[in-house]
Amino acid sequence: MQPFLGSGGTYAGTQAFPKAVQTQLDQLIQQGVASTDQQARTKIYGQLQNLSYENALDIWLDQQQGRHYEQLWVKGYYYQPNYEGNFYFYVLSK
């Protein structure tokens, strides 16, 4: 959530969310990160999604569920978060 909704996030930092909403978002993100209880964290992230939805902050098109790993020696791989599978968006070399 930090890159998309946090005030210091990669995307949210340039979107100029209303100050009151940004304060709520930052507080919920901090609570979510600090929480060790899975049920509490699920509730917090649900509140974040609802706050984003109710204030029309973003349009969520894709939510990545998979992971992809490469060895450190692999060069030329570019992460494509919109696709979960291996779609060969790279040229591999050693």
**Helix (H/G/I), strand (E/B), else coil: 36:** coil
Residue 41 predicted with pLDDT over 90: yes
Write down the pLDDT at residue 80.
Answer: 64
pLDDT bracket for residue 78 (50, 70, 90): low
Mean pLDDT within 88-93: 53
pLDDT bracket for residue 64 (50, 70, 90): low
- For the chain, give every domain's residue range: 2-54
Question: Mean pLDDT lowest for which of 3-12, 27-36, 66-75?
Answer: 66-75
Q: Which residues contact 11 (CB under 8 A, 6 or more apart)?
A: 3, 4
H helices of the chain, in order, are 2-5, 19-34, 38-54
Mean pLDDT within 14-38: 93
